[in-house]
Structure 1
Amino acid sequence: MSWLALYMKELRQTKTRFLINIVFLIILGILFFVLTERYNAFFITLTVPLILVHFVYMLVAMFDSLRLEWKQNTAVFWLNIPKSGWQLITAKFSAAMTQLFISLSLTFMILYILLQRTILHFPDTQVPLFILEQFQSFWWILFSGLFIASLQTGIVATFIYLMAKSIRKWGWLLGIGIVFGSSWIWMKFQETAVYRAITEWGVVLNEEAFMNSFFVHFDGNEAMMDVDVTTDAILYAGTAVVDILVVAGVLFICGWLIDKKVEA
Structure 2
Amino acid sequence: MKNKITYSDTDLDTFNKLMDEYGWIIYEDALDTTFVDEINDSLIKAYEVRRDIQIKNGISANMNGTLHHLVERDTFTLKFLERKYCANQIGHFLTGKYILNSLGAVINQKDDKPYVQNIHRDIRSFTGDFKMMIQMMIILDDFTIENGATYFLSGSHKQDDKPEEGYFFQHADRAVAKKGSIILFDSNLWHAAGKNNTEGKRRTLTMAFTRPFFKQQLDYPRFLGYTFGEGLSEDLRQVLGYNARTPENLNEYYQPVEKRMYQPGQG
TM category, shorter: under 0.3
Higher share of residues assigned strand: 2
Give the alignment's TM-score, normalised by structure 1.
0.22
Give the alignment's TM-score, normalised by structure 2.
0.22
